[in-house]
Amino acid sequence: MVAQLLDGRAVAKRIKERVAIAVQQRKKQGLSQPGLEVILVGNNTASDTYVRHKQQACLEVGIRSQCHNLPQNTTQDEIAHLIDACNENPNANGILLQLPLPSSITTYSLLERIHPDKDVDGFHPYNLGRLAQRHPHLRPCTPKGVITLLDETGEDLTGKHAVVIGASNIVGRPMALELLMARCTTTVCHRFTRCLSKYVQEADVLISAIGKPGIIQSDWIKPEAIVIDVGFSHLENGMISGDIEFESARLRASWITPVPGGVGPMTVASLLENTLQATEIQEALRELSG
């Protein structure tokens, strides 16, 4: 058996086409162009690359995107003031604070400062709380993209044992909430988990989001499991690797994501969906307020 490929690039392409059509329809109706404000602090090479990809995707679908490039020594207050300005700007429908921030900055308080209706990354406590209560508003992009990929399999997830490896606020924790909402029996493993292999062997749906090449051994994978590899690491030989060795894992899984080309494009596509959704939410609220 060789696993079927969950091609994130192909699925993301379809999402981008739908968003582009919606943006064009807005233009014909005389509605405003959705706008995304990106805040990038410091000189993190990976962050620079991610932001370029996000801005290129915005350009492709007709979303206006502006990047605020701030130096490494930018203060907490300066970032906070910029977020406040974006919150007040009616043309700034989405605000994305690119992570990680310099170590001198307190990330949580800045994420909390972004208005929940403009929080297109889905990290605000309000949005995470809505997800926990099964009434999602703006959903974290990577977990949302993973759920979209799982939908592509056509599998009924009800009652399946989903195991998430990693408990970060960005992926692991909101991913567990998404899986609970999809009616999975959900286990979260983390750095303090004992006998990781035991949980992997029990997983009908395995989602690894650690960023350590080879942390999951392929022979642990349950035959015919759905395998989603969120990990992304640059190797010394210049290659890119996920958390799981792809070629051997696809001989056990029923469905599997490649790295690259799996979850990454879905994260960007989800950001575009969130920006459009945020625009529509803000318009609806303005109509209600008169």
Amino acid (one-letter) located at 172: G
What residues act catalytically?
54, 98, 121
Contact 14, 151 (CB under 8 A): no
- Both tokens of 50, joined, read 């991610």
- CB burial of residue 138 (10 Å; 0-12, 13-18, 19+): buried
Q: Are 209 and 164 in contact (CB under 8 A)?
A: yes
Three-state secondary structure call for residue 41:
strand
Compute φ and ψ for 77, nearest 5 degrees.
Answer: -65, -40
Residues with Cβ within 8 Å of 163's Cβ and at least 6 positions away in sequence, in order, are 186, 187, 188, 189, 199, 200, 202, 203, 205, 206, 207
Cis peptide before 90 (omega within 30 of 0): no
Query: What DSSP element (H or E) covers 83?
Result: helix 76-88
CA distance 211 to 220: 18
What per-residue string of b and e applies to 4-13 under the rule 16 or more CB within 10 Å gives b?
Answer: eebbbeebbe
Per the CB < 8 A criterion, the answer to whether 26 and 32 are in contact is yes
Q: Are 149 and 263 in contact (CB under 8 A)?
A: yes
